[in-house]
Amino acid sequence: MSSCSSGSEEEDEGLDSYRKGGYHAVKIADSFAAGRYIAQKKLGWGEFSTVWLAYDTQSSKYVALKIQKSAPQFAQAALHEIDVLSAITNGDPSNTKFVGHLVDHFKHTGPNGQHSCMVLEFLGDNLLRLIKYNRYKGLAMNQVREICKCILIALDYLHRELKLIHTDLKLETFFCIRPLFPQKIRSGRERLQSFNSRRARGRTQVTE
């Protein structure tokens, strides 16, 4: 549910936005949250943030670290996003709804200001990459059924229980967590990764 999701894979974000109020410049092995998270590689970027693969020294797991731009409007958007992601995560304690979970959030101060940071589960490849790996030949019917089942469970959870409507459904929004093609990728059961969604207040609300 994001304009940035895991970020663009095709273009670079450029250097112009690495300034006051903009992106935080990250280098490999930079640490965050008092040394808990160690940056490994950039996964992508969006209008509001960059997303990095990071190692969580506390859990000994890899995570996705989303670092928001520091200008006030981006900080405010991050607060709303954290609220929504927290609701999604807290409503799925058994982790059976096929939605990405928020692991942690904190603020990081750098040369360009104070940045809101979100730590999410690091999932596998998205469906677009899966299709590319398969040379655009399509998937077996049993795989399609499994993928559709997981997606519908996730959307039903967001819509009926949380009153959220996902309006940015695309291949890049769905991530896999076990192999469909073990020799090529770590993919399989789909999870809906959600970011800039709107949380309803007593009624169904549409995401941006």
Q: Which residues are annotated as a binding site?
A: 66
**3-class state of residue 20 by DSSP:** coil
Residue ranges of the annotated binding site for ATP are 66
Report the residue count for the chain. Answer: 208
Of the chain, the end-to-end C-alpha distance in Å amounts to 8
Beginning with the edge strand found earlier in the chain, give each strand of the sheet holding 102-110 in spatial order.
31-32, 37-45, 49-56, 61-68, 113-121, 102-110
Measure the CA–CA gap between 168 and 114, rounded to whole angstroms: 28
Query: In this structure, are residues 49 and 64 in contact, taking their beta carbons and an 8 Å threshold?
Result: no
Give the number of other Cβ atoms within 10 Å of residue 25's Cβ. 14
> What is the DSSP secondary-structure string of 167-188?
----GGGEEE-S-SSTTT----
Q: Is position 30 annotated as part of the catalytic site?
A: no
Where residue 200 falls (left for φ over 0; alpha for ψ -120 to 50; beta otherwise) is: beta
Measure the CA–CA gap between 23 and 157, rounded to whole angstroms: 33
Measure the CA–CA gap between 179 and 12, rounded to whole angstroms: 29
Catalytic (active-site) positions:
168
